[in-house]
């Protein structure tokens, strides 16, 4: 266990009265009170990592994720709800530690080779969509030469739609393309050819 984790476990817990006073001061904008709440809450993060039996190679990452969740919980906690901060923060910490590592954080030897895309096949697939839905995908993912991907908000503004409508149409079009590309092509060689 790291010295950081040991120090977190050695810190004495706050009494209910101390916690409430710090929470009130934190709500009034006192950065010192916020820092004390976070520092004393780190023991919950370390205890949770130990309880989950996180291996030594992943322990620091789990504590880091749990600490970020603790900070969010401290910032969102309402002391008038009648519960202790730990009761509110525990599910946040647990959720952060349950989340699998982000795919961009995989070791380089576990990252697959980039997929090659046949531009002709992509445009053939886009031709199976309505012109409007194809435009949404082209704008969203920068599928035309010299164009960059755009956010849903940018696409919505450009096409005069609500962002939610762009999201729905994008999801429906992508699902259509998945089905289209997954369907076997008649007369194509099978896996044994």
Domain 119-182: top CATH class = mainly alpha
Q: Is 75 helix (H, G, I), strand (E, B) or coil?
A: helix
CATH topology of domain 3-102: Rna Polymerase Sigma Factor; Chain: A (1.10.1740)
Q: What ranges do the domains of the chain cover?
A: 3-102, 119-182
With b for 16 or more beta-carbon neighbours within 10 A and e for fewer, the 151-181 pattern comes to: ebeebbeeeebeeeebbebbeebbebbeeee
Among 172, 171, 167, 173, which Cα is nearest to 154's?
167
Model confidence band, residue 168 (pLDDT cutoffs 50, 70, 90): very high
Q: What is the mean pLDDT of residues 123-133?
A: 86
Task: State the Cα–Cα distance between residues 3 and 151, nearest whole angstrom.
Answer: 43
Task: State the Cα–Cα distance between residues 58 and 63, nearest whole angstrom.
Answer: 9
Model confidence band, residue 166 (pLDDT cutoffs 50, 70, 90): very high
Task: State the Cα–Cα distance between residues 153 and 17, nearest whole angstrom.
Answer: 46
* pLDDT 10s digits, 100-122: 655 555 555 555 555 555 667 77
Residues in the chain: 193
* pLDDT 10s digits, 75-100: 888 888 888 888 888 888 888 888 66
* pLDDT 10s digits, 6-57: 788 888 888 888 988 988 898 888 999 999 988 888 888 888 888 877 777 7
Q: Is 190 helix (H, G, I), strand (E, B) or coil?
A: coil
Residue 193 has what pLDDT? Answer: 44
């Amino acid at each position: 266990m790291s010295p950081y984790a040991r120090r977190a476990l050695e810190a004495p817990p706050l009494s209910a009265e101390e916690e409430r006073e710090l929470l009130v001061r934190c709500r009034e904008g006192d950065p010192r009170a916020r820092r004390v709440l976070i520092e004393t809450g780190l023991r919950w993060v370390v205890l949770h990592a130990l309880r989950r039996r996180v291996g030594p190679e992943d322990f620091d990452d789990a504590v880091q994720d749990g600490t970020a969740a603790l900070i969010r919980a401290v910032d969102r906690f309402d002391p008038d709800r009648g519960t202790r901060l730990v009761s509110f923060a525990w599910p946040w910490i647990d959720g952060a530690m349950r989340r699998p590592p982000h795919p961009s954080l995989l070791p380089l030897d576990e990252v697959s080779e980039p997929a090659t895309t046949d531009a002709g096949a992509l445009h053939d697939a886009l031709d199976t969509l309505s012109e409007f839905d194809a435009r949404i995908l082209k704008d969203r993912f920068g599928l035309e030469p010299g164009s960059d991907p755009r956010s849903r908000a940018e696409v919505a503004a450009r096409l005069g739609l609500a962002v939610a409508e762009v999201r729905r149409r994008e999801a429906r079009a992508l699902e259509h393309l998945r089905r289209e590309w997954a369907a076997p092509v008649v007369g194509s060689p099978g896996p044994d050819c």
